[in-house]
């Protein structure tokens, strides 16, 4: 009997982030947007969900300039897509929209201020399917792929505390030889890739010393549970750190694991010396005694892992990740095994029951 067994710890949750801006020259007819409420803590995150202007297709000349007049464009809030499909009927109606191509988004925004040594990044939680971004007329980068979070450090382009412009080009053209999406997955499938800013956009203000915000859109804190028993669960922690500043930083990473009631069940502290404009990977091991296991819908129990980057007693950055402690395995005879016990999966069990009755 072959059994494939994996001990798994839930990592999840990325603090949402990203940014928005508005032109410094004469702001176009759209009113200057104000960022959403800021999150408490050393890392400030503001939502850029409202105040956008949108146009599908059209001439691209001048669209990225801060002074471009977008007053005739459609006013929209995020999430947004220009596509509409899926109805409770057998045929599509005139309300369906399967257009594929290029859509333009513009946002005029007064950006929040930042303290000396802080960085500001714009985060996109998902753009279908290719994105290009300009801040105050400067192209800051592009991203291919509709289903992943990505960020750009726009500190050098953004005028904090002033008016800025953000422009996004979204492209969901049908993949074909020679097309802009020819090599962008998925190249085919039984689903449609919607175009647009179909997930959130945020602005992050964070210290130059940080849990790496440029680690491919990830949280900078990654967790696994190599061994899980009724007596204890070992927790492996990987912290990816970045110093985007010009000087060395001597810091400490303090980590706590809290249970569902907020009680500390494990803690760790480790030094972290960051070179100028450098990165560092820090690996640590913690232990949870007599862990409460995640049992799916029966008991979806979660711990919280909170890590703080501390410098001379001051918390300069903080990230938090949920943690579900469990083991799972797949067995050809017993099926899916969660925490040592066979578990029937709904789709598989119904299929097997029908086959058995046949």
Q: What is the pLDDT of residues 256-309, one digit of tens each?
A: 999 999 999 999 999 999 999 999 999 999 999 999 999 999 999 999 999 999
Average pLDDT over residues 28-48: 67
Q: Which of 57-61, 67-71, 181-185, 328-332 has the highest mean pLDDT?
A: 67-71
CA-to-CA separations, 260 to 235, 268, 284, 300, 305, in angstroms, rounded: 17, 19, 22, 11, 11
The residue with greater pLDDT, 254 or 19, is 254
Please, are residues 325 and 233 in contact by the beta-carbon 8 Å criterion?
yes
Strand ordering across the sheet containing 52-56: 74-76, 52-56, 102-110, 163-171, 130-135, 138-144
Whole-number pLDDT of residue 89: 80
Average pLDDT over residues 44-59: 96
Domains of the chain by start residue, with CATH: 44-87+96-207 (2.60.120.260), 212-327 (2.60.40.10)
Q: How far apart are CA 250 and CA 273, in angstroms?
A: 5
The secondary structure of residue 37, as a DSSP letter, is P
Whole-number pLDDT of residue 34: 55
Please, are residues 196 and 82 in contact by the beta-carbon 8 Å criterion?
yes
Average pLDDT over residues 201-208: 98
- Residue 209 C-alpha from the chain's centroid: 20
Q: In the chain, which ranges are continuous DSSP H helix?
A: 346-357
Burial (CB < 10 A; 0-12, 13-18, 19+), residue 50, is middle
Among 138, 130, 110, 133, CA closest to 122: 133
- pLDDT band at 346, cuts 50/70/90? low
Dihedral sign (CA 202, 207, 208, 210): negative
Whole-number pLDDT of residue 40: 61
Please, are residues 118 and 208 in contact by the beta-carbon 8 Å criterion?
yes
- pLDDT band at 349, cuts 50/70/90? very low
Per-position DSSP letters for 95-160, written without gaps between them:
T-B---SEEEEEEEEEPPP--TTEEEEEEES--BSEEEEEETTEEEEEEE-SSS-EEEE-TTT--T
Q: How far apart are CA 88 and CA 90, in angstroms?
A: 7
pLDDT in tens, 109-164: 999 999 999 999 999 999 999 999 999 999 999 999 999 999 999 999 999 889 99
Whole-number pLDDT of residue 20: 30
Q: How far apart are CA 154 and CA 142, in angstroms?
A: 13
Q: How far apart are CA 80 and CA 170, in angstroms?
A: 11
Share of the chain above pLDDT 90, in %: 75
User: Does residue 32 have a pLDDT over 80?
Assistant: no
Q: How far apart are CA 341 and CA 290, in angstroms?
A: 18
Tell me the whole-structure pTM to 2 decimals. Answer: 0.83
């Amino acid at each position: 009997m072959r059994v494939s067994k994996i001990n798994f710890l839930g990592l999840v949750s990325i603090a949402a982030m990203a940014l928005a801006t508005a032109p410094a020259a004469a702001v176009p007819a759209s009113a200057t947007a104000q960022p959403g409420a800021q999150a408490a803590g050393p890392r400030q995150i503001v939502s850029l969900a409202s105040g956008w202007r949108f146009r599908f297709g059209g001439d691209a000349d001048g669209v990225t300039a801060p002074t471009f007049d977008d007053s005739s464009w459609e006013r929209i809030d995020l999430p947004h897509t220009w596509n509409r499909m899926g109805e409770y009927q057998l045929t599509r109606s005139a309300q369906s929209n399967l257009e594929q191509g290029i859509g333009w988004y513009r946002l005029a925004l007064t950006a929040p201020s930042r303290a000396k040594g802080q960085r500001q990044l714009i985060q996109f939680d998902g753009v279908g399917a290719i994105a290009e971004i300009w801040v105050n007329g400067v192209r800051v980068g592009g991203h291919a792929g509709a289903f992943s979070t990505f960020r750009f450090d726009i500190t050098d382009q953004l005028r904090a505390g002033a008016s800025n412009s953000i422009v996004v080009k979204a492209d969901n053209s049908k993949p074909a030889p020679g097309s802009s999406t020819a090599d962008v997955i998925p190249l085919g499938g039984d689903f449609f890739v919607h175009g647009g800013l179909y997930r959130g956009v945020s602005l992050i203000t964070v210290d130059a010393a940080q849990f790496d915000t440029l680690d491919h859109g990830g949280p900078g804190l990654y967790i696994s549970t190599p061994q899980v028993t009724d007596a204890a669960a070992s927790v492996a922690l990987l912290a990816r750190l970045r110093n985007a500043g010009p000087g060395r930083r001597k810091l400490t990473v303090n980590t706590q694991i809290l249970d569902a009631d907020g009680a500390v069940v494990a803690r760790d502290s480790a030094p972290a010396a960051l070179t100028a404009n450098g990165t560092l990977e820090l690996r640590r091991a913690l232990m949870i005694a007599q862990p409460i296991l995640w049992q799916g819908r029966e008991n979806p129990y979660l711990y919280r892992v909170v890590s703080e980057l501390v410098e001379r007693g001051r918390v300069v950055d903080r990230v938090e990740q949920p943690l579900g402690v469990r083991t799972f395995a797949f067995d050809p005879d017993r099926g899916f095994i969660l925490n040592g016990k066979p578990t029937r999966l709904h789709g598989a069990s119904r299929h097997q029951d029908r086959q058995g009755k046949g």
